[in-house]
Structure 1
Amino acid sequence: CEQWQMDIPAGPAKERGETLGRQVAQKYLAFRDHDGHEKNGDYTPMTKPGDYQYTPGFDYVWKPDFTVARPFTLDSVSQFRSPPPPKLTSSAYAASFREVKAYGSKNSQVRSADQTSIAHWWAEFGEHGWNRIGRLVARQQGLKEVEANRLFALLNMNLYDLYLASFDSKYIYDTWRPYTAIHHGGEDGNPDTEEQKNWEPEMVTPPWPEYPSAHAAVGAAGAEIVSRVLGTARVHFTMRSTTALPGYPERTYEDLDQAANDCADSRIFNGFHFRFATEEGKRQGRAVARHTLDHFLLKIP
């Protein structure tokens, strides 16, 4: 953004624009002060099969009251609430159980080196990665200042609201993580899920309920917004990640949707999520993104 600002010729018009921008920012910061995002709330884990349980390294959950925060574009945080996850006794649950057990294990015998790279490369917070993608492709595609600002306003308002929508669903359904599910597979009533008491995920599981995947939602939403503003999802880019494994610092993509799919799959490869949670996350992410795009900051004709 600083570079785009530097590209604008100096003069009275630029000075007036900078003054207006600061005034608007100050007004909006005051409007958002005490908007509820600072609250954390209380949480008590339940104990029946399928309920979220604390995972190793944590005796708390993050932001059980996050959804009291004020959204930017949603009428309510439940506007795009996910449908319930598959029942523990279903074949859909068993298939997702077996997949993450095999591919998300720290000692996986089936996960490829590239899949392990994806797990770590996409581990950084989604809003960091997708803002970096936005900056990279906006400059590559030659977006003008107004459209660049529109892109990042849409992207970040949407990602914030998407976290609210995702965490609304997470705490409504309060679903256990693969770590807990696999350690207690004998208690779920499904003959096609086999427990393994020594199973460990590839990476440390974050401290909040599993379904849906917020990370997958952020990836799908990021791809939807960036591609809509650019007018195409077919964008070539090479990018680094702050969480990449040594020797795998960069990944190259030809398509934003391909990047979003890797973002979602990473949560299976690192042992955090079931497939049904990443698929629902992608659906929810695109739904919230389309709502934002269709109703806010419409392109000036």
Structure 2
Amino acid sequence: MKTRPRRLLAAPLAAAACAATSLLVASPSAAGGHGDDIADDPAVVERWSVIATRTIVENGHRPPVSTLYSAFASLAVHDAVAAVEGGFETYADQPRARRGSSPEAAAATAAYEVLVHYFPASATALRTDYDNELADVTAGRYGGVRAGRAAAATIIELREDDGIDAPVTLPPGDEPGEWVPTTPGMEMYAPWLGGVDPLLIRDADRFDPGAPPDLGSRRYAREFEEVKAYGARTGSVRTPEQTATATFWSANAVVQLQRALGDLAERRDLDIAETARAFALLDASTADALIVAWDQKLEHRFWRPQTAIREAAEDGNPLTTADATWEPLLPTPPYPDYPSGHATIIGAATETVAEVFGRRHVVLNVPSLVDGVDGRSYSRLDALDREAENARIWLGFHFRTAMEDANDLGHHVADWAAERYLEPTHRGHSGHR
């Protein structure tokens, strides 16, 4: 798998300040000193996270890929705010913003510039959001816009030729244990993701999660029987509560956890710099963990339970029995089983929360994205991990090893990243870890 160490580039100041966006900003003399008149709304970070998700989804990207673009925007937002506020290391080299710059204008501009670069078809909607965001920002507006443009330009330059949309395909397997589409004519979603340059990690191989169980093993047979019994659409042994849990975790986990992080940041009264850092760590760690997961999916190409159960007569394991009509609770996502992308997302997110807020006394409120299903609150992050693992088995999507190894993968990447990136500096924050 191709990896590339993080490059630290000087932001192209003059070019960024005069970039393509034709925004009417206040003159340099309008920027005042730090004070109560400088817009400093931490919620701007989550507002642009929501806008980013909307834009990315509208342009046809599912969670594994959407997280990558979210990370580009979040890292730019963090660097722009840090250039204004100080307190945390930046992801890439950034010049300090002029005194009195608006961190709110910096955050909004950074996100806007990244999103409009990658999604020009959404330029009109994004411009409306941007103009609305800056409508009430007067003091420090010029400096904030300049800082945001510089941060966005640096991220965009760093990601040139990073492997997005590379011509990679995964042909259907023809041997027992190999992935085949569960819907005729379906292809693997975004196989190129496994070869994209990571954002934070330098050596993806160090996060290799392992391998699925051998088809002839007792462990495989146990996991086979578990998902066959609990994940079936009809005739399942799931309880109503287990079905509700499975349904809750059937939606876009990236969005669920971004919103949960925003809620926690607000309840903990994080300032704009702390909030920007939390979102950047969440999105970048999740994106990198998914890159590793997709690389492993391409390597192992392990079949999904739906295929495995229907074709069990061919697996060579005397402890498994085929059911040619078996179907999962919901349609299976279009990529191999091992490791689980969903569990990777969950592990990276819960580890990020632990790194930012601590591992004890954390209540995470996760919203529901499914009509008629209530949101859930978790007072223990490991309980959230285990519930989400079970949920995907109860959906009929994964074998247990794919869930457990992927969750560990997410934790390891997020832990490694938080120890090395966006750390507090002596000038400001001590962090909330």
TM-score (norm 1): 0.91
Letter in 2 for 1:194: T
Q: Does structure 1 residue 285 correspond to structure 2 residue 410? A: yes
2:84 paired residue number: none
Superposition pairs for residues 6-21 of structure 1, below 5 Å? Answer: 15-21=142-148
- Cα distance in 1 between the residues matched to 2:384 and 2:157: 36
Unmatched 5+ stretches in structure 1:
none
Deviation at 1:57, TM superposition (A): 5.1
Q: CA offsets per residue over residues 72-109 of structure 1, 9 Å max, x none?
A: 01214333122121101111111110110011100143
- With over 3 angstroms needed to count, the CA separation of the structure-2 counterparts of 1:53 and 1:251, relative to structure 1, is same
Superposition pairs for residues 207-222 of structure 1, below 5 Å? Answer: 207-222=334-349
2:392 paired residue number: 267
Q: CA offsets per residue over residues 24-73 of structure 1, 9 Å max, x none?
A: 11221232244212225222222111111110254211122222211101
Deviation at 1:12, TM superposition (A): 5.1
1:82 paired residue number: 209
Q: Does structure 1 residue 297 correspond to structure 2 residue 409? A: no
- Cα distance in 2 between the residues matched to 1:276 and 1:262: 15
Q: Does structure 1 residue 39 correspond to structure 2 residue 149? A: no
1:172 paired residue number: 299
Q: Does structure 1 residue 122 correspond to structure 2 residue 249? A: yes
Superposition pairs for residues 1-301 of structure 1, below 5 Å? Answer: 2-3=43-44, 15-56=142-183, 58-242=185-369, 244-246=370-372, 248-300=373-425, 301=430
Question: Which structure exhibits the higher relative contact order, with contacts defined as CA atoms closer than 8 Å and separated by 6 or more residues?
Answer: 1
Q: Tell me if the contact between 1:219 and 1:261 (Cα under 8 Å) persists in the aligned partners.
A: no
Deviation at 1:146, TM superposition (A): 1.4
The structure with more radius of gyration? 2
- With over 3 angstroms needed to count, the CA separation of the structure-2 counterparts of 1:60 and 1:251, relative to structure 1, is same
Q: 3-state DSSP class of the match of 1:162?
A: helix
Q: Tell me if the contact between 1:84 and 1:173 (Cα under 8 Å) persists in the aligned partners.
A: yes
- Cα distance in 2 between the residues matched to 1:219 and 1:78: 20
Deviation at 1:7, TM superposition (A): 12
Letter in 2 for 1:170: K
Query: Percent identity among equivalent residues?
Result: 31
Q: 3-state DSSP class of the match of 1:115?
A: helix
Unmatched 5+ stretches in structure 2:
1-41, 46-102, 107-135
- Cα distance in 2 between the residues matched to 1:267 and 1:249: 18
Deviation at 1:15, TM superposition (A): 4.8
Q: Tell me if the contact between 1:100 and 1:274 (Cα under 8 Å) persists in the aligned partners.
A: yes
Q: CA offsets per residue over residues 146-196 of structure 1, 9 Å max, x none?
A: 111111111111111111000111110110000000001111111111111
Q: CA offsets per residue over residues 119-160 of structure 1, 9 Å max, x none?
A: 121122222121111111111111122111111111111111
Deviation at 1:110, TM superposition (A): 1.5
Letter in 1 for 2:338: Y
Letter in 1 for 2:251: E
- Cα distance in 2 between the residues matched to 1:189 and 1:270: 25
Letter in 1 for 2:386: N
- With over 3 angstroms needed to count, the CA separation of the structure-2 counterparts of 1:33 and 1:239, relative to structure 1, is same
Q: Tell me if the contact between 1:58 and 1:207 (Cα under 8 Å) persists in the aligned partners.
A: no
Q: Tell me if the contact between 1:39 and 1:63 (Cα under 8 Å) persists in the aligned partners.
A: no
Q: CA offsets per residue over residues 267-289 of structure 1, 9 Å max, x none?
A: 10111100111010111111111
Q: How many residues align?
A: 299
Q: 3-state DSSP class of the match of 2:243?
A: helix
- Cα distance in 1 between the residues matched to 2:281 and 2:385: 17
Letter in 1 for 2:345: V
TM-score (norm 2): 0.65
- Cα distance in 2 between the residues matched to 1:7 and 1:56: 46
Q: Tell me if the contact between 2:256 and 2:366 (Cα under 8 Å) persists in the aligned partners.
A: no
